[in-house]
Amino acid sequence: MNPFGLRRGLLLLALPVAMAVSAFFVPRDAVTGIDLACRLSPPTWQHPLGTDELGRDLLARMVWGARLSLSIGVVVVGIAGAAGTVAGGAAGYAGGVADRFFIYVSDVLISFPGLLLTLAVIALLGPGIRSLCAALILTGWIGYARYARALTLSLRAREFIEAQRAIGSPLHRILLRHLLPNIVGPMAVLAAMGVAWVVLAEGVLSFLGLGVQPPMPSWGSMINDGRRHLLDAPALILIPGSALLLTLLGFTAIGEDLAALTDARDLDSHVPPAGGGVAGSSGGRLKKFLQL
């Protein structure tokens, strides 16, 4: 493992996370308040990053946008990852009809382009934060489920699982103490990559007017609002765009380093630990999975 990789990812995320935390100390009026007298103002002591076309403080809107983007990313990945892990793990361990039914459903869902299916869900539910989260969860859980199923299938035939069955261990003990601890690490790698994807998807959908609705700020909607002032006020695009880029690079770097850590542990592990080890190189399998 390269320790610099993880530190690099955390360093890239330090600014967006600090902005998201500081949003709790910024009043809503500072974000949505309109002051046409100082529209498109350059940076001043009162407005450190300047103002937008409606005179709203750009720093306050960036801070609230960070909280919304990161919150949506964590909530969507948390729910979709948990649901997908349970569904895929249960199907892979049960096998038989349940596994075949899961494969059929997942093949149908994955045959649709993810963005197209997300747009269809939002069109059905209407634009807004709740609709955005619901759409991303409904279209994102399948990836976690398929990967959890693949991990479970590789573990189900391992000797330590067969030994637990032979001695009559109850099903919940096998699942909670032997299967789950061995798929948490690889699933965490996929989750880190997933947060980056969700933040990007939220920015794209908000840019199109289908995500966070005004007057609440989102990095994507802020970039869309700044398009009209690309020549006279490029900061309206560059600042939220840079924050979005830092967030994507940070989560991607953390995910890649966690995958390398998983590979290193697999290579160093010749004997499964007390809870059992993941068969093969799970980090390598994740990299191949993400390239599909």
Query: Does the structure show a pLDDT above 80 at 211?
Result: yes
> What's the pTM?
0.82
Q: What pLDDT is recorded for position 282?
A: 42
Mean pLDDT of 62-82: 94
Residue from 178, 144, 137, 143 nearest 161 by CA: 178
- CA–CA separation, 191 and 149 (whole Å): 15
Q: What pLDDT is recorded for position 285?
A: 44
Banded model confidence at residue 6, pLDDT cuts 50, 70, 90: low
Of the listed ranges 7-11, 59-63, 78-82, the one predicted with least confidence: 7-11
Banded model confidence at residue 160, pLDDT cuts 50, 70, 90: confident
Ranges of beta strands (E only) in the chain are none
* Sign of the Cα pseudo-torsion (221, 227, 230, 233, in order): negative
Work out the angle between the directed axes of helices 235-268 and 282-290 (0-180°, nearest 10).
Answer: 140
pLDDT digits (tens, 9 = 90+) for 239-261: 999 999 999 999 988 888 888 77
pLDDT digits (tens, 9 = 90+) for 8-34: 778 888 989 999 999 888 888 888 888
Banded model confidence at residue 79, pLDDT cuts 50, 70, 90: very high
- CA–CA separation, 90 and 165 (whole Å): 16
* Domains in the chain: ranges and CATH: 10-16+55-290 (1.10.3720.10)
Q: What pLDDT is recorded for position 159?
A: 74
Q: What pLDDT is recorded for position 90?
A: 87
Average predicted confidence (pLDDT) for the chain = 82
List all residues 6 or more positions away from 84 whose beta carbon is below 8 Å from its beta carbon. Answer: 140, 141, 142, 143, 144, 145, 146, 147, 148
- CA–CA separation, 134 and 82 (whole Å): 14
Q: What pLDDT is recorded for position 290?
A: 41
CA angle at residue 87 from 81 to 91, to 5 degrees?
Answer: 140
Query: Does the structure show a pLDDT above 50 at 284?
Result: no
Q: What pLDDT is recorded for position 263?
A: 60
